[in-house]
A = this chain, B = another copy of it.
Amino acid sequence: MKAVILSIGQELTSGQTVDTNSAWLSQKLGERGIETIEHRTVADQRRQIADAIAESVKKVDLLIVTGGLGPTEDDLTRFALADVLGVELVVDAAAMEHMEAFFRGRGWRMSESNRVQAMAPKGANMLPNLLGTAPGLACRIGAADVYVMPGVPYEMKDMYARCVAPHLPAQRGAIIHHILHTFGAGESNVGAAIADLMKRDSNPLVGTTVAGGMVSIRIISKASTADEARELANATARQVKERLGAFVVGEGDDTMASVVGGLLRRAGATLSTAESCTGGMVGEMITAVPGSSEYYTGGVVAYANQVKMQLLGVSEQMLVEHGAVSEPVAMQMAVGARERFNTTWAVSITGVAGPGGGTEAKPVGLVYVGLAGKDCRLVERLMIPGLRDIVRLRASLNALNILRMRLIG
């Protein structure tokens, strides 16, 4: 079974609101083995909505529509649906009663305009809305099942669970999404390493995405049962891991920080941080992980040189000779943090995040990340392309990654 998800609303096409309903629905459908082949969003225009519905039902056997069921003049989805069906709108007595009860129950006056919400295209079924005034609609157009729900996310999610999911035909197949997160290889190298696994129309289907500074590998497998699909995905995941080795940071909800945290916990080790250009981003990432107090004691944000000297013991001579963005300063920052915080490990970052502050010798994007441990003193020199946010993000991930590489040996 294949689906199209259609969202209705001027606030979406104008960019005032980001559509999150479609992604949520695609995930839910995917869990049931239903593949979403397209998301589509059109404004509150009766003709446009009707065209989008008519075109979609030709392509797939499931169309889910959200939005445009409200009481105002620009809520036109039910009219467009009636146009496509070639029928009139008729009042649904039960829906009218339910809506009147909804208003009575809250001691609100029901305005005339609400009455239209109790109207459905002749032959369509009403889907009760327990959280709002706009019922949903269900009907069949040609070979496609069509469900129309309100655009308000929590109303839609409740209605989907009660009125749509239970009626979706059980799929013979199941679709499993297995995601691996890599760091340090670059998307093109990752792609080259697994090119043969990424052939189109293969099962599992393998793809890559760049998000949050990491390259993620999606493994989407289809099989007759969820277990088979999972086994299929796991087999491919094992191949990917063999080829990419230590570039693979984690899976699913893992983050660089949660993986490093797990390694520190297992090693019974502790960590502190010394950050300049990232201003606390590494600490923020580490402490975003619940329970990070088990291994993270804290850090210094040494933005000014004075702070680098005073709180981390970086020598003035080093700062004068080599500058704040240099290998020896990165090293002293890490060593200084490790001593002061008395931790097993300390990571440090100093760099030019931009947009200003770059020079010929030290351009924007130049970053040194340091790692200090018992018998370990490492500094990596990075040239990170991109804007300030990206330089800081990639610098922070690199700082955690050199520690990760060390911890996994």
Contacts and interface: CB of A to CB of B under 8 A. Distances in A.
A19 B16 contact: no
Contacts of A300: 298-301, 311
B288 A297 contact: no
**Identical chains bound together, number:** 2
Interface in A80-111: 102, 105-108, 110-111
Interface of A, helix, strand, loop or mixed by DSSP: mixed
A44 interface: yes
A16 B220 contact: yes
Given A17-B209, A205-B10, A301-B300, A106 B383 contact: yes
Interface in A281-297: 281-284, 286-288, 290-293, 296-297
B48 A43 contact: no
Interface stretch (A189-197, A238-246, A398-406): A189-197
Nearest to A27: B15
A211 interface: yes
A130 to B, nearest CB: 8
Interface in A379-400: 383, 385-390, 392
A13 interface: yes
A287 B280 contact: yes
A16 B388 contact: no
B307 A298 contact: yes
A72 B210 CA distance: 12
Interface of A: 7, 9-20, 22-28, 30, 35-46, 48, 52, 70-74, 76, 102, 105-108, 110-114, 131-133, 152, 154, 158, 175, 177, 179, 186-192, 195, 198-201, 205-211, 218, 220, 273, 275, 277-284, 286-288, 290-293, 296-304, 306-307, 310-311, 340-342, 353-356, 383, 385-390, 392
